[in-house]
Amino acid sequence: MSDRYGKEGRILYGRRRGKPLRKGQQRLIKTQLPELTISLDRNQLKPSSLFPENCREYWLEIGFGSGEHLAWQADNNPDVGIIGCEPYLNGVATLLGKLKEQSATNVRLHNEAAELLIDKLPDASLNRAFILFPDPWPKTSHNKRRFVSTSNIAALARVLKAGSELRIATDHTDYGAWILWHMLQSKEFVWEAEKPEDWRSRSSDWPSTRYEMKAIEKGLRPVYYRFRRR
């Protein structure tokens, strides 16, 4: 894992590569990824300029892993432009395979830390954001590496429109408490839960993933938070 730097010298963390890519995956990375990759050369990235057609809304998924959730959302919301951020190349390759099968045209990708892209987005330019099962960095000395932080919450508040939704999920008990504490400190978001069932289960438009199912099989109990931008 190499350290990268964001705005104001922030260190950005994230694993870049795992097992060697198969030939088919290498081909997808070489041919498809360049077509979908978002260039950060411009001072500002207006979401509407990233997609060939006008979209009803623009969504952002931070750390999409193998892309199961993102691919499902793209397939079920063809009129929504979805931006996916994931530094892990193996996960990107897996998603590219799914998008090819679906013939999806409403996805754009950023194969670096999400913070770098968020810094380029205009104010109030997104309608929804997802942070699903992010790395919990369980060691106390590594907690500062967690994506959910005061600075990143503020950055998301800046780019999300009033009334938009932020969904966060984790199967790590300590990180779940950490997320809720940090989100409740923010004056920009409202926690939408009214009863325990609201954070213990997903809604019908929130598909499960293999990672999530494996966690449940191990006896872990994921939490599913939904916050509304004021």
Which class is domain 13-229?
alpha beta
**Catalytic residue (one of 135, 174, 198, 205):** 135
Cα 34 from Cα 37, distance rounded (Å): 5
Low pLDDT (below 70) residues in the chain: 1-18
Sign of CA dihedral 121, 39, 110, 28: positive
Give residue limits of the domains in the chain.
13-229
Cα 125 from Cα 57, distance rounded (Å): 9
Cα 77 from Cα 81, distance rounded (Å): 8
161 by Cβ neighbours in 10 Å (0-12 / 13-18 / 19+) ranks as middle
Joined together, the tokens standing for residue 102 give: 């679906």
Cβ atoms of residues 159 and 123 within 8 Å: yes
207 by Cβ neighbours in 10 Å (0-12 / 13-18 / 19+) ranks as middle
pLDDT in tens, 34-89: 999 999 998 889 999 999 888 999 999 999 999 999 999 999 999 999 999 999 99
169 three-state secondary structure = strand
pLDDT in tens, 197-209: 999 999 999 999 9
Model pTM? 0.92
Give the DSSP H/E element, type plus range, for residue 21.
none
What are 81's strand-pairing partners?
A: 58
Q: In the annotation, is 174 catalytic? A: no
